[in-house]
Chain A
Amino acid sequence: MQLEASHINSHATAPPGRLPPAVAIAIAGIVLTGAGALLNLKAPGILLPAAWEALQNPSEAPLLLKGGLLDYLEQGWISSPFFLELASIQITIATLLSLFGILFALTSLVERKVLARIQNRYGPNRVGPCGLFQPIADGIKMLIKEDIVPRGADKTVHLLAPVVMVVPALLVLAILPYGPGLTPVELSVGILFFFALGATTEVAVFMAGWGSNNKYSLLGAMRAIAQMISYELPLILTALAVVMMAGSLSPVAIVEAQGGYSMGFIPDWFALTPWGIAAFILFFIAALAEANRSPFDLPEGESELVAGHLTEYSGFKYATFFLAEYIGLFAICGLAVTLFLGGWHAPLPVLEFIPGYIWFFLKLFALVLAAIWIRGTVPRIRTDHLMYFAWKFMIPAGFVIILAAAAWHYSGAGWLGWIIATPIVLLPYLILARGLSNRYATSGRTYRFSEG
């Protein structure tokens, strides 16, 4: 009766568009920088052709732009080859940082929007069109908030924890192959590097929990340690299967091993093999646990531990944790794309004209969206179940997958492989199903009714 459309009096359709100060400052900065660059008269002559070339050849665009910029620096500013090398590294780092910074801002908005839509709400829509400037507003809010350090806290550890958290998260971005020739650091042991650095996050979480001198924080940190160490193993085991198949620890080699199409249109991604799909699902679950994402967000499980290891953090330190968690999520999703979803390769041959880095980020974003979707659906898992799940299911399943991958490899990676590898993967799953339905009434219980 009340919710009829006719009763909704729309006084104003949208608030009038005004330029928020932060955007004005950003635009002014860009204009000033551009003007400064143009004052050096060589700039247009070098940068514009590079930009034009990049436009014509989009798949090479990042490299061409970087080359143009380096040329410009070489002719106008820097003569020493050492500093030029340094500048080259700096350009890569700056690009990565700003790219993932923007992605972080975007994801924090998209996450809130998607969660809101899942929950039948609008989500943030007040700051800017469709709430686009919400991340900026959030950032400003975080920056100007008071930074509270508890009196009993270990101040050094409390301060260092967010820094220690964010550094490895950023470092691991260096080894991901974003496109053909677009790997910042082409390490031959890239996967090893990734896991080695990824494991240091646990130290940061424990630092946060211990340094806060808060019982909730400590409990959260203990949970985080147990969880992350347990889930490293299935993560590594499933990655190991891929490493076995590709015969290399180098992410670039792994992506290249997934190039090509069978039957002309099915991409040769590892996720499209019987062992690979299982490994991918397992990897993704473990990745969610590793990134402290729901349903494995126990360290900050807000319904029991208030905010876990983040309880005593506020202001910019909290924002740094937030940033580190998202970057960690991107990194691990990027690794999942590299290992299983063919990295920069297009899903169909006809789509190959789209540059590889776009495919990489599209896949990455799809995985992030899946993580958000899962977060909007499931309740949180319990500590002991989490450990049982890791040690009693994920790790044995990881071994099974290695077995299946070997069977796939030695049976020629064809139809015979499907016949042999599929049961190896499926059988333990069905056994698990059996065991679960013995332990829990997984298909519901029967209830009696009193007719009274």
Chain B
Amino acid sequence: MTQLYQQPRINGSIQPNQEPVTDTDMSLNGTTKYHHETEVSGIADPAPANRLSSGVPDAVPETRLSARPTAGEYGNTPERRPFRLPGSGIVQGMMVTARNWFGSYFDRKRLVTVQYPEQQIRPPENSRSIPFLVYDGDDPDAGLRCVACHTCEKECPPQAISIVGERDENGKPARRPKVFDIDISVCMGCQICAEVCPFDAIKMDHYLDHSSLENFQSLILGKTRLSKSNAYFHTINSTDATAVDARLEADRKKKEAARQKRAAAK
């Protein structure tokens, strides 16, 4: 079966190319004149036979063009084109603008802007700006969920995160970050770090006002500036925060049960 899309449909019928289409002279200063004839070869064949993936049906049904617009459609049939007075389109447009002009004094729907610094629309829960580190409890140092596993550092597309893990006195990893920096001039707020974090330790913030006069150091946020409490996370995204809390609690209980089991087995 001939693929229909291989043949261009022009105005309802397949027309052969009457005359070769010549490219316009693209050589602009007369040095490299090239001139070639092209022919209508149809739309590039997307090679249906050796298509690489499943899911795309090979048979494309016959394309039909509806001969005439149905009722309520745009435009008018050419036989009965109504006589339009010149200027009436402009007057019609002016009626629309007048409706908006006066409507904006009465209709909230027509005046959608808010006066930003004074009025602020609460962003939706999923909204995101840059990441922050969640800590449980009151102590940002002790409660930090981050275990310095470097997952987010590896996955960060623009490589904005740099982590140095803390080591205890024996030189063993202490499962705590010593340095956790995010360069927010590089960060694009894609939330992949929050997505890949296995410990729900990094989440996306709503806070946007990060501008500063200094270009470099003040835009690299360290651990202290990034750490925010779980309570804060609840205020900006309570759905996710509650789900995370439940998950962590379940994890903790499971671990607790396993430990008790182990203790009982001993």
Contacts and interface: CB of A to CB of B under 8 A. Distances in A.
B86 A445 contact: no
Interface in A32-48: none
Interface residues of A, number: 44
A121 B63 contact: no
A452 B67 contact: no
A442 B86 contact: yes
Given A9-B122, A11-B118, A120-B111, A451 B66 contact: yes
Contact of A449 (B69, B77, B89): B69
A114 interface: yes
A449 B63 CA distance: 10
Interface stretch (B27-35, B91-99, B142-150, B189-197): B91-99
Contacts, number: 120
Given A120-B111, A443-B84, A447-B74, A377 B97 contact: yes
A2 B176 CA distance: 38
Main secondary structure of the interface of A (DSSP, over half): loop
B100 A119 contact: yes
B97 A437 contact: no
Interface string A12-37: 11110000000000000000000000
Given A446-B77, A447-B69, A121 B113 contact: yes
Interface in B42-60: none
B77 A374 contact: no
Interface string B106-121: 0010111111011111
A433 B81 CA distance: 13
Nearest to A432: B86
B92 to A, nearest CB: 10
A448 B66 contact: yes
Interface in A93-138: 114, 117-122, 125
B118 A10 contact: yes
B120 A11 contact: yes
Interface residues of B, number: 48
A97 B227 CA distance: 63
A444 B105 contact: no
Contact of A118 (B66, B67, B81, B97): B97
B101 A373 contact: yes
B110 A120 contact: yes
A378 interface: yes
B128 to A, nearest CB: 15
A66 to B, nearest CB: 39
A388 interface: no
Interface of A: 1-3, 5, 7-15, 114, 117-122, 125, 373-374, 376-378, 429, 432-434, 436-437, 441-452
21 contacts: A2-B123, A7-B121, A8-B119, A11-B118, A117-B100, A118-B97, A119-B100, A377-B90, A429-B85, A433-B83, A437-B84, A443-B84, A444-B74, A444-B75, A446-B77, A447-B74, A448-B12, A448-B65, A450-B63, A450-B64, A451-B65
Given A3-B121, A437-B83, 13 more contacts: A2-B122, A2-B123, A9-B119, A9-B120, A11-B120, A376-B97, A429-B85, A442-B86, A443-B75, A446-B74, A449-B69, A450-B66, A452-B61
Interface of B: 12, 61, 63-69, 73-78, 81-86, 89-90, 93-94, 96-98, 100-102, 104-105, 108, 110-115, 117-124
